[in-house]
């Protein structure tokens, strides 16, 4: 029963959160609507200002046209008065008339040009203001259409989210509800009022079911006590396991730190040993190189000694051949044998002496 009460309170809290979100959404929508209303009011104000300015320009044009008409009437009256005067006034009046007419015509032409320029300028401003008015109206219509579309989309998304939330709440309640408990079905078109009404019906059904189960389980108090005792034991064992896991995690962290430190020490030792090995190899290579140079020099000396011995041997052979040519055949044979033996012995002795000297 306590679990069901917790679930009901949890659902109530979720409903409260949903209500707060709805209020926030309504506030946001009201702020957006007020902004859009302010923009529309600003556009309308600009439109009214444009209309007032337009009316002022029109009134100015009308007043100028009236002044032009009055000026033309006065000119016509003046001309009639001048024509009706006596001809006996003579040349002076004619001259005055001509001067006045020329002056008035020039003034009228200048005034007409200024008035035409002013009228054209006002017409251009009128056209510009008209285009601006059309643009303002078009922009306001576009903004209104965008706002309506945005409002419709937001309402549609809100309804979808509310319907999905209702389905999720229904699934959750079905999962936590006691067995053989038939909950009211979710309304097809769900708004907040219907949703709260449905939750109230669910709450009543759950309360009735819980009361029924409590009445059915009144004779099972001992079993409930045992279950509570088991729950307490399980919670105690859970706490022990959690503390053991905490200690184990701390030990693992310490082991990892120690492994990192040892790894750093080992890496530094390996780098030191590599450096020493490289130095030793370098020294060994240098010694080998020096030894090879010494062997090469020794071999060159030996080669020179052998060349000298060969030269001596060849000279001795040439001497022996010359002696053989000068002697008899028998003496030549014996002398050749003796001389060859003596020469060979001399070569050997000389070669051995040279080697001993080198060594």
Question: Could you tell me the two tokens for 193?
Answer: 């009022």
In this structure, are residues 118 and 64 in contact, taking their beta carbons and an 8 Å threshold?
yes
Q: What is the pLDDT of residues 231-285, one digit of tens each?
A: 888 888 878 878 887 887 888 888 888 888 888 888 888 888 889 999 998 998 8
Question: Could you tell me the two tokens for 256?
Answer: 């990892």
- The fraction of the chain above a pLDDT of 90, given in percent, is 1
In this structure, are residues 78 and 181 in contact, taking their beta carbons and an 8 Å threshold?
no
Is the backbone of residue 90 left (phi > 0), alpha (psi -120 to 50) or beta?
left
The predicted structure's pLDDT at residue 253: 84
Q: What's the CA gap between 64 and 120, in Å, rounded?
A: 13
In this structure, are residues 313 and 275 in contact, taking their beta carbons and an 8 Å threshold?
no
Under the banding of pLDDT at 50, 70 and 90, the label for residue 109 is low
Q: Is the pLDDT of residue 323 over 80?
A: no
Q: Is the pLDDT of residue 11 over 80?
A: no
Under the banding of pLDDT at 50, 70 and 90, the label for residue 354 is very low
Q: What's the CA gap between 96 and 85, in Å, rounded?
A: 13
The predicted structure's pLDDT at residue 346: 42
The predicted structure's pLDDT at residue 345: 45
Q: What is the pLDDT of residues 77-91, one digit of tens each?
A: 666 655 554 444 445
The predicted structure's pLDDT at residue 92: 46
SS3 108: helix
Q: What is the mean pLDDT of residues 170-184?
A: 73
Q: What is the mean pLDDT of residues 12-27?
A: 73
The predicted structure's pLDDT at residue 334: 43
Other residues' Cβ atoms within 10 Å of the Cβ of residue 136: 16
User: Residue 359 carries which DSSP code?
Assistant: -
The predicted structure's pLDDT at residue 336: 42
Q: What is the DSSP string of 21-69?
A: HHHHHHHHHHHHHHHHHHHHHHHHHHHHHHHHHHHHHHHHHHHHHHHHH
pTM, rounded to two decimals: 0.29
In this structure, are residues 68 and 130 in contact, taking their beta carbons and an 8 Å threshold?
no
User: 14 to each of 8, 22, 91, 195, 199, how far by Cα in Å?
Assistant: 10, 12, 110, 12, 12
The predicted structure's pLDDT at residue 55: 74
The predicted structure's pLDDT at residue 349: 46
> In what helix (H) or strand (E) does residue 297 lie, and over which residues does it extend?
helix 221-326
SS3 216: helix
Q: Is the pLDDT of residue 108 over 70?
A: no
Q: What's the CA gap between 354 and 359, in Å, rounded?
A: 9
Q: Is 166 exposed, middle or buried (0-12, 13-18, 19+ CB in 10 A)?
A: middle
Q: Residues with Cβ < 8 Å from 217, sequence gap 6 or more?
A: 224
User: 55 to each of 48, 49, 50, 59, how far by Cα in Å?
Assistant: 10, 10, 8, 6
The predicted structure's pLDDT at residue 332: 43
Q: What's the CA gap between 74 and 346, in Å, rounded?
A: 166
Average pLDDT, the chain: 71
Q: Which of 57-61, 228-232, 325-329 has the lowest mean pLDDT?
A: 325-329
Closest CA to 176 of 206, 211, 135, 208: 206
Other residues' Cβ atoms within 10 Å of the Cβ of residue 339: 19
The predicted structure's pLDDT at residue 48: 72
* Most confident by average pLDDT, 137-151, 174-188, 269-283, 314-328: 269-283
Q: Is 80 exposed, middle or buried (0-12, 13-18, 19+ CB in 10 A)?
A: exposed
Q: What's the CA gap between 298 and 355, in Å, rounded?
A: 11
Under the banding of pLDDT at 50, 70 and 90, the label for residue 106 is low
Greater pLDDT, 4 or 268? 268
Q: Which of 4-8, 147-151, 190-194, 351-355 has the lowest mean pLDDT?
A: 351-355
């Amino acid at each position: 029963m306590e679990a069901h009460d917790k679930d009901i309170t949890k659902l109530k809290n979720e409903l409260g959160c949903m209500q707060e979100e709805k209020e926030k959404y309504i506030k946001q929508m009201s702020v957006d609507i007020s902004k859009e209303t302010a923009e529309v009011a600003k556009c309308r104000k600009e439109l009214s200002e444009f209309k007032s300015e337009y009316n002022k320009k029109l009134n100015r044009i009308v007043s100028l046209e009236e002044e032009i008409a009055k000026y033309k009437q006065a000119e016509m009256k003046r001309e009639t008065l001048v024509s009706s005067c006596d001809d006996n006034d003579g040349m002076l009046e004619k001259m005055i008339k001509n001067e006045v007419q020329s002056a008035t015509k020039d003034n009228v032409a200048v005034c007409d040009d200024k008035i035409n320029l002013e009228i054209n300028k006002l017409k251009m401003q009128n056209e510009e203001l008209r285009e601006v008015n059309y643009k303002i109206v078009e922009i306001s219509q576009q903004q209104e259409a965008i706002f309506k579309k945005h409002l419709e989309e937001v309402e549609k998304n809100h309804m979808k989210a509310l319907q999905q939330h209702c389905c999720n709440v229904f699934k959750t309640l079905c999962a936590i509800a006691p067995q053989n408990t038939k909950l009211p079905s979710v309304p097809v078109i769900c708004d907040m009022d219907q949703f709260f009404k449905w939750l109230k019906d669910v709450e009543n059904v759950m309360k009735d079911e819980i009361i029924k189960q409590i009445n059915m389980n009144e004779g099972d108090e001992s079993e409930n006590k045992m279950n509570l005792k088991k729950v307490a034991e399980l919670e105690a064992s859970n706490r022990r396991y959690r503390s053991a896991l905490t200690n184990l995690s701390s030990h693992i962290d310490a082991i990892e730190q120690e492994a990192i430190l040892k790894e750093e020490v080992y890496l530094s030792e390996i780098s030191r040993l590599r450096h020493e090995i490289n130095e030793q190899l370098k020294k060994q290579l240098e010694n080998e190189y020096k030894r090879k140079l010494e062997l090469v020099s020794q071999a060159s000396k030996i080669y020179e000694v052998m060349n000298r011995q060969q030269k001596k041997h060849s000279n001795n052979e040439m001497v022996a051949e010359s002696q053989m040519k000068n002697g008899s055949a028998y003496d030549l044979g014996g002398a050749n044998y003796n001389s060859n033996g003596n020469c060979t012995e001399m070569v050997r002795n000389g070669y051995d002496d040279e080697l001993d000297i080198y060594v």
